Amino acid sequence: MSDTLAEQPAGIIELRVDDAEAGLRLDKLLAQRIAPLSRARIQALIRAGNVSGPGGATIGDGSHRVKPGETFIIDVPEAEPAEPAPETMALDVVHEDRDVIVIDKPAHLVVHPGAGHATGTLVNALIAHCGDSLSGIGGVKRPGIVHRLDKGTSGLLVVAKNDPAHQSLSEQFAAHGEDGRMHRAYLALVWGKPIRPRGTISARLARSKSNRTKITVTKGEGGRHAVTHYELIETINTQAGPVSLMRLELETGRTHQIRVHLAHAGLPVLGDATYASGFKAKSGKLGEAAQAALAALDRQALHAAELGFEHPRSGKPLRFARDLPSDMQALLDALKSD
């Protein structure tokens, strides 16, 4: 891989169609010739009337088939300011360079602005932290979110700072680690003890028909393929029964995958109000100190502990690891003393 990573261009670009490019779709041709711009960004420019063809006519359809010798003019505007407002807040930056930033996200921090969370998100914080080092992703100066962690999940998360890095990381996450570039592993405290110390949970996942905020295991060909590999680290015998510390490695990355798979296996995550609600009475059987630690956690006991990916500019593998955060460690210590 080249050690140079082209940044998003801005201004007027003139391209002439070569003989070998005859018959290509216009959007495909432009994406090939203007590599820093994604095909989606190219299509948006075409729809916005920023691409003109022979005779200066505006080309509004990306499926337009080009002919040899034709010349196209592309007007690429400067990246617009980010829509979310910058907000200064403390961030645990694990790694940062001109292309990517890796954060150890604290629990309770929402990643992206949305309904009920217009401010106070990781995106708001990154816009303030990165400042002018952000280039236009999709035409807007904003961090490129290529994966997310639930609000109640802590741990490692990588964010792109420019369009080429966003494309590279998106491709790596889409491959779900099958090509060896992407690696993700989590630590979780769960109720119970797995039958085998190592194994795989393979169960298709779909959005619940009765509650659209929940994900459920589905049989047959419905839902999406999902695979989680697990390893038992240790089991603690508490007054409420066994609790296990487990390491989970993702082969696919579906919404709520680890939490749903573990609940499906009879090993729901401690503190998970959505998928371990049936175990609420069980927590009342813990000793006083363990109950207090679980209440103080106030979230699912799930931590993204390992993250690896191929750097989008250099191609070098990067690997990061983070120990349990203080609230999960305090719960683990209290459980061992129960």
CATH 3.65.10.10 is right for the domain spanning 183-336:
no
Delimiting residues of CATH 3.30.2350.10 domain(s) in the chain: 93-174, 183-336
Predicted local confidence at residue 85, as pLDDT: 79
Predicted local confidence at residue 148, as pLDDT: 86
Predicted local confidence at residue 77, as pLDDT: 75
Residue 139: phi, psi to the nearest 5? 90, 0
How far apart CA 269 and CA 38 sit, in angstroms, is 39
Encoded tokens for 32? 């090939």
Predicted local confidence at residue 62, as pLDDT: 86
**Catalytic residue ranges:** 150
Predicted local confidence at residue 1, as pLDDT: 38
Q: Which residues of the chain have pLDDT under 70?
A: 1-10, 36, 78-82, 114-117, 135-142, 177
Fold held by 93-174: Pseudouridine synthase (3.30.2350)
Pick the CATH number of 11-76 from 2.120.10.30, 3.40.50.2000, 3.10.290.10, 3.40.50.12280: 3.10.290.10
Delimiting residues of CATH 3.10.290.10 domain(s) in the chain: 11-76
Within a 10 A sphere around the Cβ of 296, how many other Cβ atoms?
12
Predicted local confidence at residue 275, as pLDDT: 92
Q: Where are the alpha helices (DSSP H) in the chain?
A: 26-33, 39-47, 122-130, 163-174, 257-264, 280-283, 288-297, 326-336
Predicted local confidence at residue 335, as pLDDT: 97
Predicted local confidence at residue 3, as pLDDT: 46
